[in-house]
Structure 1
Amino acid sequence: MKLASLKHRRDGKLIIVSRDLRQAVDASDIAKTLQDALDDWDTLSPLLRARYDALNADHVSGRFPFDPFACASPLPRAFQWADGSAYVNHVELVRKARGATMPESFWTDPLMYQGMSDKFLGPREDIALCDEAWGCDFEAEVAVITDDVPMAVSPQDASQHIKLLMLVNDVSLRNLIPSELAKGFGFFQSKPASAFSPVAVTPDELTEHWQDNKIHLPLEVNLNGDQFGAPDAGVDMTFDFSELVAHAAKSRHLGSGTIIGSGTVSNLDRSKGSCCIAERRMLEILDLGAPQTPFLLYGDRVSIEMHDKEGRSIFGKIEQEVVSYG
């Protein structure tokens, strides 16, 4: 099942999108918003799925062409957005480039921060940047959305609470990060609004590519029309999504609509490219002694997408341009 939110007020208007991303149908008579659907998932998801099946079979009235430009992120805002760093080789690489060793605990205990969630960017919405000197970067990731998750849930049980998956552009302001982390209190100014793919999909849409609570497909990133990277999201993922959800719920309940991110997708096979500029710059430092690739500048365009083995887009495309704020 594929769900999206048309831009409408603060929380969007729920629609159902066909498997091929060509057609859509209103679902607001079942649930006004995606958050409403998640709040009563067991009751409402069978109704949504029945209409989804009818849409794919051309047996539903009121169909209209699906337009990602009319979409907000599937959850235009969320009660909670927590981003992990499940690809630990990415963390190790970044630390190595600045001459820092990595604690062994990073391989057994996930890193996670709580991000801005009161307003997400739409999948085709510009990244408004106040100052190019802040070092704007994209981070291509995968994320899950949960229903209500009980505190202290086990990783085995956590997988049952994963209801939807999305792609993410977790925008980072790299040159603001060092001074924030030096204070010992985590990210804030360096992590502005993230953007999510036009549609969120249930795990069954990924068929055999959803295994072990991971998506086993390349995540494709283009910068200004050129491929920047396409690492496989299922390779070198140290912590799967059930482990990330359980980590987030160790000491608290997670409310329905909680979004948990994977962190920047990264493979040890460097021929697959990178999902953020910072990683490429770190590789340049190690290979050449200095970074060569600049961070994002005004007018730069980034796109993030995932295709199945037949070349069909699964989540739709995140495509954004960096613009000057104000």
Structure 2
Amino acid sequence: MKLATYKDGSRDGQLVVVSRDLSTAHYATGIAARLQQVLDDWNFLSPQLQDLFDALNHGRARHAFPFDPARCMAPLPRAFQWADGTAYLNHVELVRSARNSEVPASCATDPLMYQGASDELLGPCDPVVVAREEWGIDFGAEIAVVTGDVRMGASPEQALDGVRLVMLANEVTLRNLVPPELDKGFGFVQSKPATAFSPVAVTLDELGDAWQGGRLHLPLHSSWNGRKVGICEAGADMDFHFGELIAHLCKTRNVRAGSIVGSGTVSNKAVQGSGGSMDWPKGYSCIAEKRAMETLLDGRPSTAFMKFGDTIRIEMKGRDGQSIFGAIEQEIVAAA
């Protein structure tokens, strides 16, 4: 099934069930008012939502209405936890090699992860509000999962059983604020503003055979100012699957229902030509990677970060060509 949260003037919005083709929706009133309620009582409430989803897809839902992504908040407008990993080692290696920094050996066996802000998560069409362009505004196209309860010390296989929903994310980073924060040795705060999520979150059965081994094997499309800049395969070069990411998070603590875990920037490896030159035919899912590519090829970056008025669109389509999660479509806006 596919679930979304409509804006209703409150902090947490109103839960709606969305049809498979994203054309119609139906309020989940009478079953659950908020998505967090469903996650807290998944085994009891999700079958009822599934029945409504089936009725909606067969035209039997009495109070269906046209689905409008612009009315959506994030599926979970505020979450108990937002933890973003780096499941794609190519992203780490690419960005660090451009600045002559070695990747720690432990990264090959243990994923990087940081704890992000989860008190405000943006809807798919909400603007990205930033005070200054010179902070280095960058988008970050990712996959994310929403969990149920996962106990402390769970194995990757056990942790994978805790995945309830999948969605897309735009993890915005203010790149020029990153170095001074990391130099302090205590991680990201100011350089990671609010993250945005796709209009709908979907259950694993909606992904079919594209979901295998905790990875989503479909291309993720990124368009910057209307120009396609990335069609990166989300499954191919994902070194740590979502079970491993969740297990990393719950090594020393319980993970509770309503936690969101991100994959990190979706990234594909370079292809080496016959003359030894490097190329990235799938493009990029964040500008930092593009600048790293330019540095490796030309000795310096030439692509600037985002400006006020720029737009970013992030979307994933199934093998039938239909949008699965709906699109994240945001504009960079100056803070008032």
Task: Give TM-score scaled by structure 1 length.
Answer: 0.99
Equivalence for 2:150: 149
Name the structure 1 match of 2:276. none
Give runs of ≥4 in structure 1 deviating > 4 Å: none
Counterpart position of 1:118: 119
Offset, 1:5: 0.1
The aligned counterpart of 2:165 is 164
1:3 equivalenced with 2:3 (yes/no): yes
Alignment of 1:244-283 (within 5 A): 244-269=245-270, 270-283=280-293
Describe the SS at the equivalent of 2:161.
helix
Q: Are residues 1:228 and 2:229 paired?
A: yes
Q: State the Cα distance separating 1:309 from its structure 2 match.
A: 1.1
State the 1:245 CA deviation: 0.6
Cα shift readout 1:213-272 (whole Å, capped 9, x = no counterpart): 100000000001100101100011000000001110100111110000000000004100
Cα displacement (A) at 1:65: 0.2
Question: Which residue of 293, 313, 333 maps to 1:323?
Answer: 333
Deviations 1:13-56 (A, max 9, x none): 00000000000001032111001110100100000001100100
Partner of 1:202: 203
Q: Distance in 1 between matches of 2:128 and 2:163?
A: 29
Would you say 1:290 and 2:291 are equivalent positions? no
Whole-Å separation in 2 of the counterparts to 1:132 and 1:192 = 14
- CA shift at 1:63, angstroms? 0.3
Letter in 2 for 1:266: S
Q: How many matched pairs?
A: 326
- 1:165-205 superposed Cα distances (whole Å, 9 cap, x missing partner): 00000000000000000000000000000000000000110
Give unpaired runs (5+ residues) of structure 2. 271-279
Residue 300 of structure 1 is matched in structure 2 by 310
Which stretch of structure 1 is more off in the superposition, 182-191 or 152-161? 152-161
What is the RMSD computed on CA atoms of the aligned residues? 0.6
Paired letter, 1:289? G
Q: Which amino acid aligns with 1:124?
A: C
Residue 139 of structure 2 aligns with which residue?
138
Residue aligned with 1:72, SS: coil
Residues 1:61 and 2:71 aligned together: no
Q: Letter of the aligned partner of 2:55 in structure 1?
A: A
> Residue type of the partner of 1:219?
L
Identity score, percent: 56
Instruction: Report the Cα distance in structure 2 between the residues aligned to 1:147 and 1:125, rounded to whole angstroms.
Output: 27
Distance 1:293 1:284 in 2: 8
Q: Secondary structure at the match of 1:230?
A: strand
Counterparts of 1:244 and 1:11, CA distance in 2 = 27
Whole-Å Cα distance in 2 between the matches of residues 63 and 24 of structure 1?
A: 5
| Residue identity opposite 1:22 in structure 2 | S
Write the letter of the residue equivalent to 1:49. Answer: Q
- The secondary structure found in structure 1 opposite 2:3 is strand
* Counterpart in the other structure of 2:129: 128
TM superposition shift of 1:159:
1.2
Q: Which runs of 5+ in 1 are unaligned?
A: none
What code does the residue aligned with 1:253 have? Answer: N
Partners of 2:205 and 2:214 in 1: CA distance: 12
For residues 227 and 176 of structure 1, the distance between their equivalents in structure 2, rounded to whole angstroms, comes to 27
5 Å matches for 1:6-21? 6-8=6-8, 9-21=10-22
Q: Distance in 2 between matches of 1:115 and 1:222?
A: 24
* Aligned-residue offset at 1:312: 0.1
